Amino acid sequence: MSNHSAEKIPAENNGSNGMKKTLSLWNYFTIGFGAIIGTGWVLLVGDWMIIGGGPTAAIIAFAVGAVFLLPIGAVFGELTAAIPISGGIVEYVDRTYGSKVSYYTGWLLALGNGILCPWEAIAISTLVSEKFGDFFPVLRSVKLYTILGADVYLFPTLISLCFAVYVIRLNFKGASSAAKLQAFLTKALLAGMVLAMGISLFKGGPQNIQPLFSKVTGPASSTEATGLFAGIVSVLVMTPFFYAGFDTIPQQAEEAAEGLDWHKFGRIISLALLASGGFYIICIYSFGSIIPWTEFVKSSVPALACLKNINIVLYVVMLCIATMGPMGPMNSFYGATTRIMLAMGRKGQLPETFSRLDPKKGTPITANILMSVLTLAGPFLGKKMLVPLTNVSALAFIFSCTMVSFACLKMRRTEPNLNRPYKVPGGKIGIGAACAAGSIIIGLLVVPASPAALKPVEWVIVFGWLAIGLLLSILSGKKKARA
């Protein structure tokens, strides 16, 4: 490691800093894989087919999306293996582009990751009220209020809060407790996939994914594309959100078990992306071939509706898996966001209180409290907030990833002697591909003519978060000036 890099890592990141070192390579894989796939595939697989004009377009889009993000995953692998500290993204950008750019990169990533905690809490309350409510009408007996046209009921809100409290409690206890939950939920989701594949093999067949392209209208969306290529592009612009989660692996690098093989660690992020891509492709094919896909997409939450018609026991099992699924990403993103805020607190970018760790558990105290409040607010927001939160998260996530890619490229020039146990395949060309991929996706989200451009309400959330960040930055700056 060069003298330059040794100077720049804060002292508390070198050696013992109060954080427990318990996470293995398998823990890191399940944290990343669980964070990626848990984000509502059971709820949304029908919408992917509708928007793309069929399962074929959706399968191609998710395959291309995974390959598109591979260079970015490799960049994260190189930097995390070289500089294994919690919330490393803040450090990488700070070392190359300075404190201000690093601050807003970290703050936007905290938004992109943090938003997913209330998002998942809304997903749980929505499933409980809409699907379990069919079995137990009492769940919908006490209506609290209507927000943005969505009804919020008392009992589903309470159930979702219980799930959220469980995840929060695990994160207050430490990373190894949270990793155990992640491993369990990953297995439960894979069991659900095997179930769907088994049914499609016996009940369906490849003839059901015909026609290759057709314009259809479903309960919540319709095909706007005019052909197969346009259908692929329409789904492709959505895929970064559904692959968001691989960045949760580097956020917890500081808690790696002693003696971890950092060269293998560099590959874990790409493996999590490829495994998730395979998962999505099998998922779309399995559900798209159970019955003719044009029939499949007519129901609300078709992945569950088609199972209900085949076997009620299978339906209940999948419904339980779908309801527990959001706990996986909620857990991953909760842990990742608190580590970003911890890193920003250590650098003096956030008020000093954010750098405090629990002396026994080694967990960030202030960041955990802030994330608890955000997560517990979720079930009260209603299901109509899911789409705006999705789009804001996609922009914040990909902006941070792109800044890290540019940081990696610049660091090859400014810190050539940095010890890199893992390097991006293709060297600077590979890193350049990551920069290009990220920039294209940002363009698709911010250029007004794009099919995926943010809407006014989404820009309000982005600018509101940046305004809070500016206020905190001024506060921490004043404290530093007084000191």
* Eight-state DSSP code of residue 254: G
Hey, what amino acid is at 66? A
Cα distance between residue 354 and residue 338, in whole Å: 9
* Region of poorest pLDDT, from 68-77, 245-254, 345-354: 245-254
Q: What is the DSSP string of 360-383?
A: TT--BHHHHHHHHHHHHHGGGS-G
Question: Which pair of tokens denotes residue 425?
Answer: 């395949």
CB 405 within 8 A of CB 438: yes
If DSSP codes are grouped into helix, strand and coil, which group holds residue 222? strand
Q: What pTM does this model have?
A: 0.78
If DSSP codes are grouped into helix, strand and coil, which group holds residue 364? strand
Residue-wise pLDDT for 337-364, tens only, equals 888 888 888 878 888 788 888 777 777 8
Work out whether the CA dihedral 299, 305, 307, 311 comes out positive or negative.
Answer: negative
Question: Which pair of tokens denotes residue 282?
Answer: 């099998």
Q: Report which of 270, 279, 282 is spatially closest to residue 246, judged by C-alpha positions.
A: 270
Question: Which pair of tokens denotes residue 288?
Answer: 């798209």
Cα distance between residue 46 and residue 44, in whole Å: 5
Residue 281's Cβ-side half-sphere holds a number of Cα atoms within 13 Å equal to 15
Residue-wise pLDDT for 170-222, tens only, equals 887 765 666 676 667 767 767 776 777 777 777 778 888 888 888 887 766 67
If DSSP codes are grouped into helix, strand and coil, which group holds residue 226? coil
* Region of poorest pLDDT, from 136-150, 319-333, 463-477: 319-333
Question: Which pair of tokens denotes residue 198?
Answer: 């088994």
Rg, C-alpha atoms of the chain: 22
Give the ranges where 16-152 is alpha helix by DSSP (H): 25-37, 41-52, 55-82, 88-97, 99-114, 116-127, 133-135
Cα distance between residue 148 and residue 468, in whole Å: 24
Q: Compute φ and ψ for 147, nearest 5 degrees.
A: -130, 125
Cα distance between residue 87 and residue 22, in whole Å: 17
Question: Which pair of tokens denotes residue 114?
Answer: 């943090």
Number of H helices, E strands in the chain: 22, 2
Q: Quote the pLDDT of residue 478.
A: 63
Q: Report which of 472, 413, 393 is spatially closest to residue 4, judged by C-alpha positions.
A: 413
Residue-wise pLDDT for 14-39, tens only, equals 344 455 677 778 888 887 887 787 65
Distance of CA 452 to the CA centre of its chain: 18
Q: Quote the pLDDT of residue 62.
A: 94
Helix (H) or strand (E) holding 473: helix 456-482
Cα distance between residue 134 and residue 138, in whole Å: 9
Residue-wise pLDDT for 285-320, tens only, equals 888 888 888 888 887 778 777 777 777 887 887 788
Cα distance between residue 106 and residue 88, in whole Å: 9
Q: Quote the pLDDT of residue 11.
A: 32
Question: Which pair of tokens denotes residue 125?
Answer: 């309350």
Counting every residue, how long is the chain?
A: 483
Q: Is the pLDDT of residue 47 over 80?
A: yes
Query: Which residues neighbour 120 within 8 Å (Cβ) at sequence distance 6 or greater?
Result: 38, 39, 326, 327, 329, 330, 333, 378
Angle, helices 327-346 vs 99-114, to 10°: value is 160
* Region of poorest pLDDT, from 3-7, 53-57, 164-168: 3-7
CB 35 within 8 A of CB 270: no
If DSSP codes are grouped into helix, strand and coil, which group holds residue 434? helix
Arithmetic mean of pLDDT over the chain: 81
Angle, helices 175-203 vs 302-310, to 10°: value is 60
Cα distance between residue 335 and residue 251, in whole Å: 8
pLDDT band at 63 (very low <50, low <70, confident <90, very high): very high
Neighbours of 202 (CB within 10 A): 10
Cα distance between residue 405 and residue 65, in whole Å: 17
- The pLDDT > 90 percentage for the chain reads 12
Q: Report which of 472, 245, 254 is spatially closest to residue 364, judged by C-alpha positions.
A: 254
Peptide bond into 456 cis (omega under 30): no
